[in-house]
A and B are shown apart, each in its own frame.
Chain A
């Protein structure tokens, strides 16, 4: 570990050994981004972990105050860049609630399907990356192969592989292209076959078990207290999933299980994700089966661009609305709203205060990774050795872009 450097030596204890401050990151492969951990070490035993964040702070919330509501959508992509459609969806839902509109049914299905696909791709990353942090390279390469297939599907649907920006206020940008449904179904079949193989590669591996079982245990009460959410919370035995408990979009029509584990250790957090991928595959299939033909974007010319682009050439009114929408955006009624949804990392919430203008007065992002990362600092039991910190960090699955906003 070449980029771990000794900062200074702080005193000595009764046994004559010296405690050292270790600087892990901000450029270390196992920190999953630019995260810096300062560790107080007594030999190999970690006395204290303090995460230092902010290396990727872009001021998304401040920028949002200067952008129109539509312009903010691409900013939300850059939060959780592993699964952008989920973040898009959270933001768009918040604005829709302020406007008191609802996307057409097909639009909702497409958005939910994209969100679940992105959950698959996000979870595939950690299912492969945690073993890699612990020294097992193979799984990551396999998982990346399947993640690549999700990327290809995203590219087919939206034209972009990572930052899809596909959600619009009032629906989605375009309809599914021809052949997309078949491709997604094919992917679902392939992944369900292969997922068990990947699980077997790692789940019964003795080294992996030794490194993750009973390591980094977060008890249910602690987990709630430090604000964990999503799979990290469910691994600790708390049965809470926003998709089931306060359904948004069309989640109430989908049949799925909420994966809950009991121990709250690194292994449970990992296996929770494997099982969630299985559930998500089922949800994607259900979405495709239930989807009916129809409009995918709301037909309010002051809020959404026209679906039929030919109208721009022949209808003056469409042209005016298009110009106003591009140049000034649209006014959102005065009010405030907090909309949380179940993102792959946990509860992502957008708190938007509107003062009646085209730009939000205040937009606060409740980023799940930001809150989850606090588990490194407090509330975690059995995170004794330096190697355990790496396992803990990997199993929390933070995306630093989202932590730093």
Chain B
């Protein structure tokens, strides 16, 4: 059995410069990875016999607006046999104007990622390339905008159904 502190070294050794150590954190170790290698990393984390991160606890988006490279996807993994937790963070490059940020899907690694990724797409507009059914999950299909983004007002936008909403362009 690997010691909790060692397994990060092992992963970083295996992936070289593609994976960075993101600090020990209050609760668990953290790894940072480029979106291009996230699927490789996840496959390795799940299938390596000394790691066995077989349970994807959570997957979520974070919006760092107005910083550069504003979107981030965070994975929380758990190894049921070895009882380790691990956080994997993946900061996305800013898309060109009018485009949406992209990241490969990890549904091929853990099926549970399906709904988590749909939720992240619904709330942040992050597109998970290769996702089998990337549709809005909470909001209705015709809804415009991505409500969890920091530039989306909490009260929503003013329209016929929402007299208390903000005027478009009031938050930046």
Query: Which residues of A come within 8 Å of B, CB atoms?
Result: 53-54, 57, 59, 61-63, 65-66, 97-98, 100, 224-227, 238, 240, 245-246, 335-340, 347, 349, 351, 353, 362, 364, 366, 370-371, 373-374, 377-379, 404-405
Is the CB–CB distance between B139 and A57 below 8 Å?
Answer: yes
Is the CB–CB distance between A353 and B62 below 8 Å?
Answer: yes
Asked, given contacts A246-B83, A338-B76, A349-B76, whether A366 binds B26 with beta carbons under 8 Å apart, the answer is no
B87 located at the interface, meaning its Cβ lies under 8 Å from any Cβ of chain A in the complex: yes
A61 to B80 Cα, complex, angstroms: 27
Contact partner of A370 (CB less than 8 A), chosen from B26, B74, B115, B148, is B115
Is the CB–CB distance between A338 and B55 below 8 Å?
Answer: no
For chain B, residues 68 to 90, give those with C-beta under 8 angstroms from any C-beta of chain A.
Answer: 74, 76, 78, 80, 83, 85, 87
A364 to B54 Cα, complex, angstroms: 21
B112 located at the interface, meaning its Cβ lies under 8 Å from any Cβ of chain A in the complex: yes
Query: Which residues of B are found within 8 Å of A366, using beta-carbon distances?
Result: 57-58, 76
Query: Which residues of A are found within 8 Å of B123, using beta-carbon distances?
Result: 61
Contact partner of A337 (CB less than 8 A), chosen from B26, B57, B62, B114, is B26
A-B contact pairs, 13 of them (CB 8 A): A54-B136, A54-B137, A63-B154, A97-B27, A98-B26, A226-B112, A335-B26, A338-B87, A351-B76, A362-B63, A366-B76, A371-B116, A404-B138
Query: Which residues of B are found within 8 Å of A374, using beta-carbon distances?
Result: 111-112, 114-115
Query: How distant is A374 from chain B, measured CB to nearest CB, in Å?
Result: 5
Query: How distant is B144 from chain A, measured CB to nearest CB, in Å?
Result: 16
Is the CB–CB distance between A226 and B111 below 8 Å?
Answer: yes
Given A61-B123, A227-B111, 15 new contacts (CB under 8 A): A53-B137, A59-B154, A65-B154, A98-B26, A100-B26, A227-B55, A227-B110, A337-B25, A337-B26, A337-B27, A338-B27, A364-B74, A373-B115, A404-B138, A405-B138
B161 located at the interface, meaning its Cβ lies under 8 Å from any Cβ of chain A in the complex: no
Query: Which residues of B are found within 8 Å of A370, using beta-carbon distances?
Result: 115, 119
Query: How distant is B107 from chain A, measured CB to nearest CB, in Å?
Result: 10
Query: Which residues of B are found within 8 Å of A225, using beta-carbon distances?
Result: 54, 110-112
Is the CB–CB distance between B60 and A351 below 8 Å?
Answer: yes
A378 to B113 Cα, complex, angstroms: 12
A98 to B25 Cα, complex, angstroms: 10
Query: Which residues of B are found within 8 Å of A59, using beta-carbon distances?
Result: 147, 154
Contact partner of B111 (CB less than 8 A), chosen from A63, A338, A339, A378, is A378
Chain B residue nearest to A227 (CB atoms) is: B112
Is the CB–CB distance between A224 and B80 below 8 Å?
Answer: yes
Chain B residue nearest to A225 (CB atoms) is: B111
Is the CB–CB distance between A227 and B56 below 8 Å?
Answer: yes
Is the CB–CB distance between B138 and A66 below 8 Å?
Answer: no
> Which of B54, B63, B78, B136 has the largest number of chain A CB atoms within 10 A?
B78
Query: How distant is B156 from chain A, measured CB to nearest CB, in Å?
Result: 9
Query: How distant is A398 from chain B, measured CB to nearest CB, in Å?
Result: 12
Is the CB–CB distance between B26 and A61 below 8 Å?
Answer: no
Query: How distant is B109 from chain A, measured CB to nearest CB, in Å?
Result: 9
Query: How distant is B110 from chain A, measured CB to nearest CB, in Å?
Result: 6
A374 to B87 Cα, complex, angstroms: 23
Query: How distant is B129 from chain A, measured CB to nearest CB, in Å?
Result: 20
